[in-house]
Structure 1
Amino acid sequence: MILLVAPAGLFRDGVAHILGDLADRVEVACADYTTRVFEGAQTADVLVLDGDCMSEALNTVRASRRLSPGLPVLVLLTAVAPNIVEKFLSAGVARHLEKSQSADSLLQALRILISGERYSPSVALDFGKDWGATSSEAQRKSNAVTDTDIHLLTPRQIQVLALAARGESNKSIARELKITEGTVKVHLYAVYRALKVDSRGQASVAAARLQKVRDTQLSRALDGQLSMGRLLAYSIPSHHQSGEVLFHKDDPSDALYYLVRGTVGILEIGINVGPGTILGEIGLFSPDHRRTCTACCKSDCDLLVVSATDAMRLHYQDPEFATYLIHLITRRLESDKSRLRRS
């Protein structure tokens, strides 16, 4: 049985009709996000979700992991944006498919899931790859790219590609490289032509195979620069008022924090940090996984919170993030040593 969860209406009815064509004896059950989705769903073979209802869909995926751990999940998306895809993959989605794909693509993706194939964790961070797409031409293009093609790109175009492959938006790339969004688009067009691809997604897949792009990403991490695309996919926004304590010294280290707005004081060492700072990284790697200092908001603060489990998962899966953390921890330990020598 296929369980389709989507708001009632033409889209759900149309998809249900297509799903019914998968095979003569396949049953399709429909539900929306306002019902108890998993009532009687223990016999479902595949769960199909309308991913545009993002928060509801993510909650449903997580519920399916608890109630039916082996149930494969396919999510349908209007826009296959890297940070959105990563959220679904992290929650446990097996495959995703853009709504602009054909009915044949949908049926092929479902046949693969029903046959038992699952999403491969070894490529879990390959944002651009559309697991639902069945275009052999698109796949051939991304597979055909080699380091020879990268010589056709300027250093600036390689920088733009490296950031785009990390999930950064055109606006974010423009801000980071101090250029206009129009210039970013021009560079991306040049990248597509040089790599013989047609989209940002295919360019991201190609970038994962190009050593110069990986070197650029690692170089940025060694310079203390972090591409936020990956971190955003794992994070939850959080607001704290002035005077609130984020964590006390010796508390369990259960999360990593990225400060978006405001000022946070690190009480034991008497320093204040501002926007763009990561907090709580040392406790993740301490032997007893305890906080080494107390962090208190000196003003109203907006933060992104990443659970310790997700932060460690990202550390092991993403060399750029791991390099950034190692660089950050080393700098902070050296600063601590300098303060001790001066005191």
Structure 2
Amino acid sequence: MSGVSTAFIDRCALFSEGVREILGNRGFDIVASASDFEDFIHRHRDFDRVSLIIICINDDNEVMERNIRSFREKFSDAKIVILSDNYNIRQVQLAFRLSVSGYLLKRINFVTLVKSLELVMLGESLFPADVLMEIGKEHGIDIQVEKEVIAYSPPPSNSGRGLSTREMQILKCLIQGDSNKVIARRLQIGEATVKVHIKAILRKIRVQNRTQAAIWAVNHLEPAPPVELNGIAHGAEAIAAAAS
């Protein structure tokens, strides 16, 4: 994942700077920061394009909703992720209904934060399971449960059925973080052949690099072992290994 134009919204300047350093070195380009939507407009009046908006919230649901709706109106195609100080079931429900892509806690470790944002940019949504189970029942939404985290997304336009057996083998190697040389040795094929297969894989599953391909494979080819995400288990361990 590279070059994701990101806006970061938080009232704490020190926290904002820390997140800027973490994400800026991992493919998320924070092009704008502000304390809320009004401050954003004041600082970045002519800014008209952003792919990801991270909004840090407190316990004020009205402010949260106003910020989400305002940013959604200005940047209709952007992904929105909420970072919260504390778990709040009403906020989670509100975020889900406002088509937010994820609700995470601020005490999340930076590796899992980055991988969660990468999943969001690939079209996944991350929410606590207990809330979304009830929402899914109410609205008849097909939500898949993985341990204690819900990852809900619309049916993908390309489910991977066009992948060959060899390409799926290579994807499983990418999950383990194998280099082209290691993959070639495992499968007893040439490195040049591996490169050709990887190019074909990226095209078929519509991602840009091998890290994104590994993330896609974790979510579509085989289950991943869980790790702790603020007391919530999430299959991100294999993803982290693939990007290291």
| Greater RCO (Cα-Cα under 8 Å, separation 6 or more) | 2
TM-score tier by shorter-chain length is 0.3 to 0.5
Look at both structures and tell me which one has the larger radius of gyration over its CA atoms: 1
